[in-house]
């Protein structure tokens, strides 16, 4: 039993990582109708920003955290201007390819600038964790779970309860109509990219103490996060969270009870099953096709 609980805890932790990166995906899909394959690189850059500020310049942890996230928000806007804005009228495919290109460029730019050595980044707590019964709770995983829950709540409130959220959604559904109604479309898109990059940055800073800071950090989690998104329902916030958690748990339990080498396969088998049997995901979209 303690074995199962330990696995469940770890599955939740890993799942929360996927979920958090997945949240960034969802935002851009919902508000800008963009599938951003550089989302993982936002996390990677956030982790490097933290490394430079905290480990390099000695800025206190929380301040360095806030600054890293702010840096990423600004970076998100720059990213929007370079990788999205010039292609916005050309349909989804050119934008997707542009984000893939940006992802490769960013990973290799960081490689060129900071070298290939993976670095360690300390977590927020000195205590690595504690034991409850026979289950070891890694404090960083607990933090990730808490922050993920907080972000979901925040995101839900913004999208469903505020005028800003409604404007963002309107922009996503029909840019022309939105702009006719007086919504500043360009500003909405910039806000979305900034927020999405900031969330990516938060995920990066939180994950780095577990997975280390390296240029491969983004690709390690973003593919799974993308799968989580599809499992949960493309563009759905609760779906991203549940999809991420389900993926993390399925992987961990599958690895423990069936086969470790096929660990990655369980996640992607789940993705295939959903694509075949329930392509709209756990939380299907109310609007079948967005303009």
Report if residue 17 touches other proteins, rule: CB under 8 A: yes
SS3 for 37-89 is CCHHHHHHHHHHHHHHHHHHCCCCHHHHHHHHHHHHHHHHHHHHHHHHHHHCC
Report if residue 264 touches other proteins, rule: CB under 8 A: yes
Report if residue 270 touches other proteins, rule: CB under 8 A: no
Report the distance separating Cα 179 and Cα 288, nearest Å: 22
Report if residue 143 touches other proteins, rule: CB under 8 A: no
Report if residue 92 touches other proteins, rule: CB under 8 A: no
Q: Which of 197, 196, 185 is nearest to 155 (CA)?
A: 196
- Candidate residues 89, 91, 113, 117; the one interacting with other proteins per rule CB under 8 A: 117
Q: Which of 110, 100, 109, 72 is nearest to 213 (CA)?
A: 110
Report if residue 110 touches other proteins, rule: CB under 8 A: no
Q: First vs last Cα of the chain: how many Å apart?
A: 50
Q: Which of 232, 233, 200, 221 is nearest to 264 (CA)?
A: 221
Instruction: Classify each residue of 261-274 as buried b or exposed e, where b means 16 or more C-beta atoms within 10 Å of its C-beta.
Output: eeeeebbeebbeeb
The minimum distance between CB 178 and other proteins, in angstroms, equals: 39
Report if residue 287 touches other proteins, rule: CB under 8 A: no
The minimum distance between CB 76 and other proteins, in angstroms, equals: 24
Report if residue 77 touches other proteins, rule: CB under 8 A: no
Report the distance separating Cα 210 and Cα 166, nearest Å: 36
Nearer to other proteins, 166 or 263 (CB): 263
The footprint of other proteins on residues 183-212 (CB under 8 A) is 210-212
Report if residue 3 touches other proteins, rule: CB under 8 A: yes
- Candidate residues 16, 255, 270, 271; the one interacting with other proteins per rule CB under 8 A: 255
Q: Which residues bind other proteins (CB under 8 A)?
A: 3, 6-7, 10, 13-14, 17, 108, 111, 115-120, 128-129, 136, 138, 210-212, 214-216, 220-221, 252, 255-256, 260-261, 263-264
């Amino acid at each position: 039993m303690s074995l199962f609980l330990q696995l469940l805890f770890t599955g939740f932790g890993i799942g929360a990582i996927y979920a958090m990166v997945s949240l960034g995906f969802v935002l851009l899909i919902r508000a800008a109708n963009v599938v951003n394959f550089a989302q993982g690189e936002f996390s990677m850059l956030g982790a490097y920003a933290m490394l430079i500020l905290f480990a390099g310049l000695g800025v206190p942890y929380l301040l360095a955290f806030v600054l890293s996230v702010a840096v990423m928000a600004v970076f998100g806007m720059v990213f929007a201007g370079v990788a999205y804005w010039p292609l916005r009228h050309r349909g989804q495919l050119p934008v997707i390819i542009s984000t893939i290109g940006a992802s490769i460029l960013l990973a290799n730019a960081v490689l060129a600038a900071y070298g290939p050595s993976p670095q360690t980044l300390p977590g927020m707590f000195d205590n690595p964790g504690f034991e409850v019964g026979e289950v070891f709770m890694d404090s960083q995983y607990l933090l990730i779970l808490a922050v993920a829950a907080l972000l979901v709540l925040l995101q839900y409130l913004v999208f469903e309860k505020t005028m800003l959220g409604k404007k963002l959604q309107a922009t996503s559904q029909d840019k022309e109509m939105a702009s006719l109604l007086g919504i500043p479309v360009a500003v909405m898109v910039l806000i979305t990219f900034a927020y999405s990059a900031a969330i990516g940055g938060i995920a990066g800073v939180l994950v780095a103490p577990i997975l280390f800071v390296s240029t491969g950090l983004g690709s390690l989690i973003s593919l799974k996060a993308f799968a989580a998104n599809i499992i949960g329902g493309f563009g759905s916030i609760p779906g991203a969270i549940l999809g991420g958690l389900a993926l993390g748990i399925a992987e961990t339990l599958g690895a423990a009870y069936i086969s470790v080498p096929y660990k990655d396969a369980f996640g992607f088998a789940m993705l295939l099953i959903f694509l075949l049997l329930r392509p709209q995901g756990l939380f299907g979209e109310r609007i079948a096709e967005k303009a």
